[in-house]
Structure 1
Amino acid sequence: MRVHQLTFVALAVAAGLSLTACRIGEDGAAHGGPSSASIPSTAPSASAPSASGDGSSSGGSDRSGGKGSAGTGPDGKGTAAGAGSTENGKAGKCRTDDLEITAIDSTIGGDTDGTVAVRLKNRGGGDCTLSEYAGVDLRTSAGSLSAQRTGEHPGPTVLKKGTAVSFGVTYPLNTTGGSGVRVTGLVVTPPDETKSVTLTWPGAATLPVTDGTGSPIKVGPIGSAGQGG
């Protein structure tokens, strides 16, 4: 009986192990199916979501950057920047080389003083600014005479490209009957410039002799003689 019982127990244990093995095998097979399915579950979590996440992030960044750039023009920011640029790049000073400088006699009959109008024409590539007074010197047989400013302060003048403006130079007429002081040339230095231009003097040939106290030559501010054109 004991032998039969032991045999039966052994058979029962063996059967149990066999069933356990079967279950393990079945579980393994069951896991084997999902195991292959676990690849997609890993791929979507690692590949698909992260790739799409990264892509949408950089894409969003690119798009927002693109909108920012593209929005500048339509929003008027470009115009504002242009306006700011224009303000920062205001018309510079008129340079001697960019000016055509001429002079004519503009004395009116009956005047006690003679007048010469000096004309400055902007022949440069853009607008430029002239500050109130130019430097004026008369070359004479007695030496150089510097003109004194009349004292008005109209402020700077913006000279548009291709336009001109004039200022006046006044001097005493020689009515003494003597030979006076002979004028040989007119030297003009544009405002804020150091380069001068020497012109033929278009006014009266002589000036009266003075006692040497102060200059009898006066220069008006830019725009004081007629209008530019």
Structure 2
Amino acid sequence: MRAHKITFAALVVAAGLSLTACQNDDDAAAQTDPSTVATASPSSGGTGSGGSDQASPGASSGGKDTSAGSGSGSDESGKAAKCRTDGLKITAIDNFIDGDPKGTVAVEMKNSSGRDCVIAGFAGVDLKTNEGTLSAERKGAPGEPYVLKNGKSIAFSVTYPLNETGGTGVRITGLVVTPPNETKSVTLAWPGKPSLPVTDGSGEPVTVGPIGSAGQGG
């Protein structure tokens, strides 16, 4: 079943592209388990992102107890610590289906930290292009904070306009992802269509959905 695609808030690609900061708030996310994809190593830099730092023990997803409990990977109160960039294996795949009006890329975050952690809200997403860096804006309603078990994955979608003008458009050269509540980013190869259309400011946006907005089916 193909990943569920979330539409996002407006960001336009214009001939004179401006740099914007990607922000995230203290909202929350739902669980997912997308397909296996190619990996990239973390690197410092990129835009920061926001979300909740902790979830209460016993917070549930899908009716199951997702309490991390005390011990390794918990803070002094016994709650699971937030997910860190260094403990996440972040990957991306093209999720476009022929006939769709927009392109979609699914970004997966796998907990490889050796402990449970809490993840919530929106990741920061920047597209690197030959015209500069474009920061995707948030779109969608986050869910509750989610305790991501060690070895499990969760994902979100990046939606972008298709270049159907016949021209070369704005060439995409990379995807920069910053997990919620983090300032350390990873840079991935862009797996989607190679370019965005050039517009006068009235074109379709590039947007990012909340954590859990890909891989849910339906």
AA paired with 1:127? D
Compute the displacement of 1:220 (Å): 0.6
1:109 and 2:98 correspond = yes
Compute the displacement of 1:214 (Å): 8.7
1:119 and 2:108 correspond = yes
1:146 and 2:146 correspond = no
C-alpha contact 2:126 2:176 (8 A) present in aligned 1: yes
1:200 and 2:189 correspond = yes
Q: Give deviations 1:34-61, integer Å, cap 9, x for gaps.
A: xxxxxxxxxxxxxxxxxxxxxxxxxxxx
1:165 paired residue number: 154
Greater shift after overlay, 212-221 or 137-146? 212-221
Secondary structure of the equivalent of 2:122? coil
TM-aligned CA distance change 1:177 to 1:94, over 3 Å: same
Per the normalisation by structure 2, the TM-score is 0.63
Tell me the number of residue pairs that the alignment of Structure 1 and Structure 2 aligns: 146
1:96 paired residue number: 85
Compute the displacement of 1:152 (Å): 1.0
Per the normalisation by structure 1, the TM-score is 0.60
1:75 paired residue number: none
Aligned partners of 1:173, 1:136: CA distance in 2, in Å?
18
Higher RCO (C-alpha under 8 Å, 6+ residues apart) = 2
TM-aligned CA distance change 1:204 to 1:159, over 3 Å: same
Compute the displacement of 1:102 (Å): 0.3
Aligned partners of 1:112, 1:155: CA distance in 2, in Å?
30
Q: Which structure has the bigger radius of gyration?
A: 1
Compute the displacement of 1:210 (Å): 2.2
Compute the displacement of 1:84 (Å): 8.1
Gaps of 5+ in 2: 1-68
Compute the displacement of 1:89 (Å): 1.8
Aligned partners of 2:204, 2:131: CA distance in 1, in Å?
13
1:129 and 2:118 correspond = yes
Q: Give deviations 1:8-30, integer Å, cap 9, x for gaps.
A: xxxxxxxxxxxxxxxxxxxxxxx
Q: What are the equivalent positions in structure 2 for 1:3-22 lying under 5 Å apart?
A: none
TM-aligned CA distance change 1:191 to 1:215, over 3 Å: farther
1:80 paired residue number: none
1:226 paired residue number: 215
Gaps of 5+ in 1: 1-82
1:210 paired residue number: 199
C-alpha contact 1:147 1:215 (8 A) present in aligned 2: no
Compute the displacement of 1:187 (Å): 0.1
C-alpha contact 1:122 1:164 (8 A) present in aligned 2: yes
Q: CA RMSD in A?
A: 2.2
C-alpha contact 1:145 1:215 (8 A) present in aligned 2: no
TM-aligned CA distance change 1:165 to 1:203, over 3 Å: same
Secondary structure of the equivalent of 2:86? helix
AA paired with 1:225? A
1:60 paired residue number: none
TM-aligned CA distance change 1:125 to 1:156, over 3 Å: same
Compute the displacement of 1:153 (Å): 2.2
